[in-house]
Structure 1
Amino acid sequence: MVGIASVREDGGDTQQKSTRRATALGILAALAGLMFGLDTGVVAGALPFIAQDFHASDSMQGWIVASMMAGAAFGSLVAGRISMTFGRRGAMMAAAVLFVIGTLLCSLAPEPGLLIVGRVFLGLAVGLAAFAAPLYISEITVESVRGAMISFYQLMVSLGIFLAFISDSFLASGGHWRWMLGIMIVPATLFLGIVFILPQSPRWLMMRGRTEKARKVLQLLRSDEEVANAELADIQARLNQSSDAGFALFRKNRHFRRSVALGMFLQVLQQLTGINALLYYAPRVFQAAHFGTDAAIWATTLVGLVNMGLSFVAIVCVDKWGRRPLLMLSCAIAAFAMLGMGVLLGLGAESFEAQIALCGFVLLFVAGFAIGEGPLVWTLCSEVQPTRGRDFGIACSTVTNWGANWAISITFPIVMTVLGASWTFVLFAALNGLFLLFTFGFVPETKGVSLEALESNLFAGKDLRHLGK
């Protein structure tokens, strides 16, 4: 894969090319997203049968779903320290082990309490993986393909959700929820094996003072020795500018606080789109429109298919159109679709035509989310943080994501009951509109800009919206 020239801070041009090795390693790291998606999506189909077997109330169902989010929030909180100490690969390895343990606990749980414990373990794994994988990908790829590679991670999340929905659909007729949860042991074990062949991130190696090892890794990942040495010099220059890192940098440097705040706001707004509420409780939403249980689960599978298919648009377009245009288009589509869902549910959606229209709006919303709000938030959060603050900054944004995810997943059934389905989705429409306004006002265009150039502009005091210029 051949990229475009990137402009270095000194005004010179360094031709950056991503080797097949870097691309392949980025794809393997993105399989962390597959596990993320599988464990996120599987609960939608399993929950009705878990509720039936365990006689779980709405509140207990909320805790079963939200326990993974609570674990993920804590996992994200400690992910920065683990990643800094053991490397991005070390964090992904810990996540893989936790995926295996959590899967076994969930599939064998004799009562809701142990099921919740298993979901917490899965959440810890997801929190670590969601932190480490996009960060790792952003650090081993070059700017010309960085957006596409991080978007590929989101594609893997979407693929995992879709595969989980497919599995749930085939197992739904017998109510085999333990098999729905237990079959995840296969990809979890595979991911554990894959992590062992990934090299450490060269930027992490540089931060640990292992310059020669970083040089060897970069020479494997880049087109030639000159390109690798130039990138190594850029990284070293960034590291030499200040000895402060992590929280110390956050406390002393107001410009770093701006990038951290941007990442946190992006993650909150992503959760307020309503995507995870829809994915976790999709069968319940379709049942509110008078779908039968089996029909609702198959309709949910269609949601997963669209989510996966439209993620390809982000991969193809993110490094051509840019982050800002794609994200604003995504927000506009999602807001319109949520408003349509709210209006239809308010009118009753009892006729066959209304049910088809409701499905159409659900799929349109998922399509809108998949082309921008989903992948580009993770892309931007991985790009805007400076080298010495990257672990801390991404940890802050990731833990914010899971905290908001947890709050929405545990309150969504209650909100649906209090406001009704119609007003709930009208509210989500307004929140997607808010996301559009925020993107216009604060989100920078990072297409084709090196991480070092973005860092230089940040510390020079440029407006967040103009960091890429």
Structure 2
Amino acid sequence: MTAIFVLGALACAFSPDVYTLIISRVFLGLAVGGSTQVVPMYISELAPAHKRGHMVTMFNIAIGIGIFAANIIGFAARDAWGWRPMVAIAAIPAAVVFISMFFLPKSPRWAAEHESLDSALEQLQRIRTSERDIRREMRRIHANANEETDPRDIGWRGLRQPWVRPALVAALGVAFFTQAGGLEMMIYYAPTFLSDAGFGSSSALMASIGISIIYLVMTVLGSNIVDRIGRRRLVLVMGPGSVLSLIGLGIMFLLHPQPGSMGSWLIIAFMLLFMVFNAGGIQVVGWLLGAEMFPLSMRGNATSLHSAMLWGSDLLVTSTALTLVTKITLGGTMWFYAGVNLLSVLFVYFMVPETRGASLEDIEDALREGRFRPTRGNTAIVEEEE
């Protein structure tokens, strides 16, 4: 995948015409789609249960850094460089990752399934410092490796099993709401929306940089608290803030305040508040849940489906956002996305359990035993430590 990143970026930068550029972008998109499936899954299988949330969401932080860097480069070098060097420079970090991959450990769980338990132990010793933790984790891996997997529980066929369905609904539902809540729309179209609202082009671009900064800061904060607060609780706490921010933003857009007035600055404030609540809430857990909810025998297929849902929802939002603005006005569009965010809170409340502190094997056990879905008074996979 990293080799495709390098080649795709260079192909885009040196494209002689628009058709070659489109083909190169599609080629580059293969790397984006593949990496967003593999990376969270790989990290979730390496990370200890009590740090898995933080470590998987480092992936989100990397996305935030990329968005921020792209905005800074685009703002600072838009006249001096032109677009070709700005695209070509993306090949540099991709090349660094390509070289680094040769030195990274294998997933112990993958090694146990495809190589041997000795190989799994060797990989586990590379990423754990406590002998006690190594022994405990190897016992779980050993127990799973010794269990004969039912052929019906493998791959795509496994995802159709009734006992897996609660995880499939929860993970894909959160994936949908992660993108359909409007954050990608805000990142992509904020300069357009603000220009239409009367802000100058430079002010709109600066606001876009502010959005990327908040996305990065809130993702870092969320990554550091998700293992303490929990995935489910984080969304339920932050989600209502997203709803109220979008309602306020819609009101201000409908009022059409004069540039420079208090109302125009409230537009910026509500937009940034939405980024605070959305980036610090469901965006933190959107990629995480898909990487940790599925059994090993079908995890690769499940994470590919999860990634497809994320990017499919992103395509849906970005391809319909401007049409929505035309049909129901900019203010109405914000209210529409407020409704989507409200639905996401309700979905998480009724369908998504708390996975904080649970090992991947604990989550699989909960699925098989029919206690995955949250119920009144019992919303966690494992009991929370006092």
1:463 Cα deviation after fit = 4.0
Q: In the alignment, is the contact (CA less than 8 A) between 2:363 and 2:372 conserved in 1?
A: no
What TM-score results when the alignment is normalised by the length of structure 2?
0.92
Alignment of 1:24-43 (within 5 A): none
Kept in 1, the 8 Å contact 2:293–2:363? The answer is yes
- Measured in 2, the distance between the counterparts of 1:461 and 1:271 equals 29
2:185 aligned with 1:277, yes or no?
A: yes
Q: Is the 8 A contact 2:231 2:285 kept in 1?
A: yes
- The separation in 1 between residues aligned to 2:37 and 2:291, in whole angstroms, is 9
Instruction: Give the one of 323, 328, 341 matched to 1:414.
Output: 323
Residue 210 of structure 2 corresponds to which residue in structure 1? Answer: 302
Q: 1:460 and 2:369 equivalent? A: yes
2:307 matched residue in structure 1: 398
Cα contact 1:335–1:432 (8 A) shared by 2: yes
Contact 1:150/1:375 (CA < 8 Å) preserved in 2? no
Matched, 1:242 2:155: no
1:212 to 118, 142, 152: 118
C-alpha distance in structure 1 between counterparts of 2:185 and 2:19, whole Å: 22
Q: Provide Cα deviations, 1:58-103, integer angstroms capped at 9, x if missing partner.
A: xxxxxxxxxxxxxxxxxxxxxxxxxxxxxxxxxxxxx211111221
How big is the shift at 1:367? 1.1
Decide which of 239, 251, 257 is 1:331's aligned counterpart.
239
> Are residue 371 (structure 1) and residue 280 (structure 2) matched?
yes
Q: Does structure 1 residue 102 correspond to structure 2 residue 17?
A: no
TM superposition shift of 1:154: 0.8
- Quote the Cα distance in structure 1 between the aligned partners of 2:258 and 2:93: 40
Amino acid at match of 1:268: F
Q: How many residues align?
A: 374
Is 1:319 aligned to residue 227 of structure 2? yes
Quickly say closer, same or farther: Cα 1:320–1:226, change in 2 above 3 A: closer
The alpha carbon displacement at 1:267 in A equals 0.8
Counterpart Cα distance in 2 of 1:433 and 1:225: 46
Distance of 1:171 and 1:238 partners within structure 2: 53
Gaps of 5+ in 2: none
Q: Which amino acid aligns with 1:342?
A: G
Q: Tell me by how many angstroms 1:415 deviates.
A: 2.1
| Residue 243 of structure 1: how far off its partner (Å) | 3.3
What is the match of residue 353 of structure 2? 444
CA shift in 2, pair 1:285/1:110, >3 Å: farther
How far did 1:157 drift?
0.9
Q: State, as a whole percentage, how many aligned pairs show the same letter.
A: 28
Task: Give the partner amino acid of 2:133.
Answer: V
State the SS of the aligned residue for 1:345: helix
CA distance in structure 2 between the partners assigned to 1:380 and 1:157 by the alignment:
17
CA offset at residue 441 of structure 1? 0.7
Deviation at 1:226, TM superposition (A): 4.3
The answer to whether structure 1 residue 382 and structure 2 residue 291 are counterparts is yes
Letter of the 2:97 partner, please give it: F
Query: 2:22 matched to 1:116?
Result: yes
Question: Aligned ranges for residues 285-300 of structure 1 at < 5 Å?
Answer: 285-300=193-208
**Aligned 8 A contact 2:198 2:259 in 1:** no
Q: What amino acid is the match of 2:179?
A: Q
Aligned partners of 2:361 and 2:90: how far apart in 1? 39
- Check the 8 A contact 1:172/1:294 in 2, yes or no: no
Q: Does 1:356 align with 2:265?
A: yes
**Alignment correspondent of 2:162:** 254
Q: CA RMSD, aligned part only?
A: 1.7
| 1:169 matched to 2:169 | no
Q: How does 1:192-203 map to 2 (within 5 A)?
A: 192-203=98-109
Once residues 357 and 273 of structure 2 are traced to their aligned partners in structure 1, the CA distance between those partners, rounded to angstroms, is 29
**In structure 1, what is the Cα distance between the partners aligned to 2:239 and 2:148?**
38
Give the Cα separation in 2 of the matches to 1:399 and 1:372. 21
Query: Following the alignment from structure 1 to structure 2, what is the Cα–Cα distance between the partners of residues 310 and 397?
Result: 23
1:156 aligns with 2:62: yes
1:295-352 deviation digits (Å, cap 9, x = unpaired): 2112101111111111122122111111111111221111111111111111113231
